[in-house]
Amino acid sequence: MTASPEPPFGIVRVAPFAGFFQRFDDLIGSATTMALYFIHSRRWRENHDAALKAFLGRPGTTLEVFLPDLESHELMFSLGKHFEDGPLIPALVADAYRFFARLARDFGKPAHVWLFGRYPTYSFYQFDQRAVIALYSNTSAKKELPAFEIIGNGVLGKFLAADIEDLKKECRKRGSQDLEALIEHAAP
């Protein structure tokens, strides 16, 4: 019996982002660690709210969250220009801040949130040794986005792990309890 070959570059599945709906619940349900990096991902948060709360309610789980820095006016301006729902981006990011602050109050996780100031080229949803990476479009036109499920020890998984470590060096680390004050301070 021969071992099955590693998938190319560690990619185990390619599909439109929306096609990962059930897979996200499966990954969340089996994970002990999770790292999330996105602009606001309102629909994803709403769709997986129960799974996220079940994850946080399990002992021994950890959650790391990376969100745009509302105080980075250049980033907020750029995000606003790039997406069809651009004028709503600051409010949607503020909603994500509030969402994770509520989870922290209810579950004690995440203890802090990482705030990024650079324009993102992709989002990631990491679960132990698996992750889903979703690309962003280069235009403001709304379209179905491609996503890849990857394994941690493949080329893309190693890239993601290194990127996460670099993000932690570049991002501002804020306590979850400080997010509401950040929202108020960043308001125009």
pLDDT per residue, tens digit, the chain (188 aa), is 555 667 778 999 999 999 999 999 999 999 999 999 999 999 999 999 999 999 999 999 999 999 999 999 999 999 988 888 888 999 999 999 999 999 999 999 988 999 999 999 999 999 999 999 999 888 878 889 999 999 999 999 999 999 999 999 999 999 988 888 888 877 65
pLDDT for position 99: 96
Q: In what order do the strands lie in the sheet with 130-135?
A: 11-16, 146-151, 130-135, 122-127, 33-37, 62-68, 112-116, 172-175
- Domains of the chain with CATH codes: 10-186 (3.30.870.10)
Can you tell me the distance from the alpha carbon of 42 to that of 39, in angstroms, rounded to the nearest whole number? 9
